[in-house]
Amino acid sequence: MGIIVQKFGGTSVANTDRIRNVARIITETYRMGHSVVAVLSAQGDTTDDLIEKAAEINPNASKREMDMLLSTGEQISCALCAMAIETMGYPVTSLTGWQAGFRTNSAYSDARIKRIEPERVLAELDKKAIVIVTGFQGINKYDDVTTLGRGGSDTSAVALAAALHADLCQIYTDVDGIYTADPRYVTGAFKLDEIAYDEMLELATLGAQVLHNRSVEMAKRYNVNLEVLSSFSGKPGTKVKEVAKNMEKMHVSGVAKDKNVARLALIGLADQPGIAFTLFSLLAKEKVNVDIILQSIGRDNTKDISFTIKKEDLARTKEALEEHAARLNFKKIDVDDNVAKISIVGAGMVNNPGVAAGMFEALYNAGINISMISTSEIKISVLVDVVDAERAVQVIHDRFFGEINAER
């Protein structure tokens, strides 16, 4: 008998029947004798709808007011779920992020959790109540509401599990667990029984939205016992842990796709020391996160540097580069935002030199051109044309998992 944190995503609480279903899962766990804390997302597309509503009134609304608005979605689902549990005759209390002790920094719309003061939650658990907590939000040092970034309820749940020293953190969603690729788009994708924190962190960062990447980072840091499973099927899910058992054959654990990418190239930079430093320190000052970087070999005393960034940073980055054009002294900026980053992740690839070649061969056979490559010990990413993105994921997945699938 211990503390279990259960997180339910937007699809899992999308309507009355689903809220009742979630209430059933929570109360079944409670009946087994556990202390249960549930963290809920906003219902269905509520957060998107609120963003649209705000844009109708003020397309340039301040981030503070946006957070004030967006945090309400989670309050609705939590109150409704608590009401459903009341009808079932169990003691229950719903709490907002601030009531549950989430203290964050002041980066509205993308706030980081600084600490959790769990006294209120613990007091409710002591009274044997089921506690329902709004995901995605906290308060800053001014007592203003902040939100944690899209998909942030996963991070709320893991952070609460860490603060409460919970025995288990279950992330209930609309798929059975973590798959080798997004099961909605990739034929032959299959569920993994286990995955290592490091691999999942890469997959989440590289576009697999099934977990918010900061939730995985936090789970690893505090060694949270994490599981991803379906709120609909009742089947066992995927365990995320320090070291995962893997089939010997699987050098690759998953394929991810990220379309939120833009590529910039600075053409005709001077081929002399300090250019990369000047360029990237400027971008760091602008708080632009740079991902893949490619520098050409100098020729005729000039060189080119290409790099990728998030699409939402494109306008700001271009502006900063143009403003400092004289200092950087490039001939031209070339921008392409019709690109996608496709990545493979696997702790087993470091000892298997053929993995990169296998990925490139699959793309070559499909006639897909690669414009940039980046590698680390456990991942390889390539930049391709956005129109090729889905096909690229499929052929790469077939290449690495086709044989395993045939044997299954």
Binding footprint of Mg ion on the chain (CB under 5 A): 9, 151
Give the tokens for residue 198: 């490091």
Note whether 215 binds ligand ASP by CB under 6 A: no
DSSP string, 5-55: EEEE-GGGGSSHHHHHHHHHHHHHHHHTT-EEEEEE--STTHHHHHHHHHH
Give the tokens for residue 187: 């034929």
| Alpha-carbon separation of residue 337 from 232, 258, 262, 304 (angstroms) | 37, 12, 4, 18
Q: Select from ligand ADP, ligand ASP, Mg ion, none the partner in contact with residue 181, using the beta carbon and a kind-dependent cut-off of 5 to 8 Å.
A: ligand ADP
Q: Which is nearer to ligand ADP, 210 or 392 (CB)?
A: 210
**Nearest-approach distance from CB 161 to Mg ion, in angstroms:** 16
Note whether 175 binds ligand ADP by CB under 6 A: yes
Note whether 151 binds ligand ASP by CB under 6 A: yes
Of 39-47, 97-105, 231-239, 248-256, which segment contacts ligand ASP by CB under 6 A?
39-47
Note whether 237 binds ligand ASP by CB under 6 A: no
Strand order across the 262-270 sheet: 293-295, 302-309, 262-270, 332-336
**Nearest-approach distance from CB 229 to ligand ADP, in angstroms:** 11
Note whether 100 binds ligand ASP by CB under 6 A: no
For residues 38-67, which are near ligand ADP according to CB under 6 A?
41
According to CB under 6 A, which one of 178, 380, 392, 393 is a site residue for ligand ADP? 178
Note whether 44 binds ligand ASP by CB under 6 A: no
Contact 238, 177 (CB under 8 A): yes
Size of the site for ligand ADP (CB under 6 A): 19
Of all residues in this chain, which one has the CB nearest to ligand ADP in the complex? 9
Can you list the pairs that 16-20 forms with residues at least 24 positions away whose Cβ atoms lie under 8 Å?
A: 16/80, 18/231, 19/43, 19/77, 19/80, 19/81, 19/84, 20/84
Instruction: Look at the block and give the residue holding tokens 């009355």.
Output: 16
What residues contact 191, with CB distance under 8 A and at least 6 apart?
A: 176, 177, 178, 179, 183, 237, 238
Q: Select from ligand ASP, Mg ion, ligand ADP, none the partner in contact with residue 182, using the beta carbon and a kind-dependent cut-off of 5 to 8 Å.
A: ligand ADP
Closest CA to 337 of 258, 394, 391: 258
| Alpha-carbon separation of residue 27 from 126, 134, 180 (angstroms) | 17, 18, 32
Note whether 204 binds ligand ASP by CB under 6 A: no
Of 5-13, 28-36, 161-169, 240-248, which segment contacts ligand ADP by CB under 6 A?
5-13
**Nearest-approach distance from CB 257 to ligand ADP, in angstroms:** 8
Note whether 208 binds ligand ADP by CB under 6 A: yes
Q: Select from ligand ASP, Mg ion, ligand ADP, none the partner in contact with residue 174, using the beta carbon and a kind-dependent cut-off of 5 to 8 Å.
A: ligand ADP
What residues contact 367, with CB distance under 8 A and at least 6 apart?
A: none
Contact 7, 136 (CB under 8 A): no
Q: Which is nearer to Mg ion, 118 or 151 (CB)?
A: 151
| CA-based radius of gyration for the chain | 23
Contact set with ligand ASP (CB under 6 A)? 9-10, 41-42, 47, 73, 135-136, 150-153
Contact set with ligand ADP (CB under 6 A)? 9-12, 41, 151, 173-175, 178-179, 181-184, 208-210, 254
